[in-house]
Each structure stands twice: as structure tokens, then as C-alpha cells.
Amino acid sequence: MPFSRLSRDDIAQQAVQRGIVASISGATVWRWLSADAIHPWCYRSWIWPRTPHFEQKAGRVLDLYHRTWNGKILDASDFVISCDEKTSIQARRRLVPTTASIAGRVARVEHEYERKGALAYVAAWDVHRARLFGLCRPSTGIAGFHDLVDRVMNQEPYRSARRVFWITDNGSSHRGTKAIDRLRGWYPNAIMIHTPVHASWLNQVEIFFSVLQRKVLTPNDFNNLEELEGKILSFQSLYESTAKPFEWKFTRDDLKNLLARLSAREQEYKMAA
């Protein structure tokens, strides 16, 4: 049948047409399928780890989260910063003002909106001290990343630290060996560590971005970029005032076990194909 997914009524119709049952309702089909162990109508997007030396690159990041580098424990003058950009955050002015919720009715947000521009939010998270730094720029780029690095590294304790590890993804603002050398040129005690490609889940600042998205940017209803920037930076200050380090439990051993399971599953798929 030319379906990628079947509705409960589609299944009920086929069951009757094929003589499996004389009659059945879609609600009954749904009740049976919901109780079953396999839910073939459910799926999630997935990217298989394909980066060369994935375990080695990811392991370095995990070690830093657990305050280890090259097999040695970090000392008090070593710091770990998780950094990334949240790009193209639009300011959407709704064509009709949002109405507040009242008894028996939820708030109403107009579907149509006028685009009032977009900005990028560049942020850095001190993994072990729960310090948050961020700024908004018209777009991402080396200049914006440099501004953020300056904001962090020009203040104590980072300015006089022995080492400050900067964990970043492979975005264009900080990609490759050139970016590593460029950061070291800006600040000799700064060391850039890249996560593997397609491994944003390893970057702790993404956890904060998800909180920002839920609590500030949804629903998106801002009159202009100035209002949007003000809300983001105000929330940044509020969040940091009560923030604690994320309880990161995933270790190198967990990574090794995960990759072993994925490898076995990939072989099963290849054999089945």
C-alpha cells in the first residue's frame, strides 16, 4: 500500500476488507496498538556517528566535563567553557495583539505576523562554575565570537588562569585548526576543543539554549529587535542568578557502550538490507 503511515481508521478498514474481522472501530484499533510493545507509527530523526575518530573527539569533551585532561585532573586554575551561537532568532510582531488567558480559555496568539528582523545570540557557559556570558549580534561570524571571547577572557579568574578550555562545535565562526590558532593568538592560555560533527548534544550550552527557547522565545511575539535582545539578556542575568552546574553523568564508558550498541545495530541494518 502506498502509505508511509496508516491512521487507525485506515487499519480498521483494511482489517475488514481482508476478512480479518467482520467489523472493528478505529478507536478499538488505537486502544490495542497503544498497549502493544511496538509502535511503528512513531519515529524520531537520527544521525549515525560518521565523523572519523568520533570516540576520541567526544571523549576529550567528556573528560573535561569531569575535570580531566590527558589523564590528569584539572587544578583550580583550569576552567572549561562551553560556547555556541543560537542563530537567526526572529522578532515576530503579531498582526493582532496577544490576548491573555481567562477562565475557561487559554491565551490566544495571532498566527500571522510581521517579520521585524533577526539576530544571533552568542553565549558561553562556565561548565563548573555556572557562569553565563552572552551577547547579541546581527549575525554570526568571527567578529562576534571574538567579542564574546574578549568578554570572558578579560575578566578574572579567566584572565590569569593557567588554561581555559573552550568547547565549540564546527560552525564557521570557529572551525578547524585556523580557529584553534586564532584563539591561541588572542589569548595564549585559551585552548579550543571541537566536538565531533553532528554532536551538538555534547555541548552543554545547548541545554541553556533549550531553556531560553521554552521560557523566552515561545511563543515568539516581539515588536522589534531591541525588545527581543532586551528579553534575552534579561533572562540571561536572571538565569545566572540561580544557576547551578548541570549534573552531567555521561562518561567515556557510557560513550563506548553507546557506540558499541550503535555499531551492532548498524550491522543488523546492513544485513537486513
Q: Which residues of the chain have pLDDT under 50?
A: none
* Chain centre to alpha carbon of residue 243: 18
pLDDT on residue 184: 97
Helices 252-272 and 54-65 cross at an angle (nearest 10°) of 150
Q: Are 88 and 220 in contact (CB under 8 A)?
A: no
pLDDT on residue 265: 86
Q: Looking at the domain 54-252, which fold is it? A: Nucleotidyltransferase; domain 5 (3.30.420)
CA distance 202 to 168: 10
pLDDT on residue 94: 95
pLDDT on residue 110: 95
pLDDT on residue 47: 82
What is the overall mean pLDDT for the chain?
94
C-alpha distance from residue 43 to each of 4, 35, 39, 258, 265 (Å): 11, 17, 9, 19, 16
β-bridge mates for residue 114, sequence order: 93
Q: Which three cell numbers stand for residue 90?
A: 526572529
CA distance 181 to 174: 10
Where exactly are the structural domains of the chain?
1-43, 54-252
CA distance 193 to 196: 10
pLDDT on residue 42: 87
> 2-6: long-range contacts (C-beta < 8 A, 24 or more apart)?
5/41, 6/41
pLDDT on residue 271: 83
pLDDT on residue 233: 98
Listed residue (206, 209, 244) closest to 61, CA to CA: 206
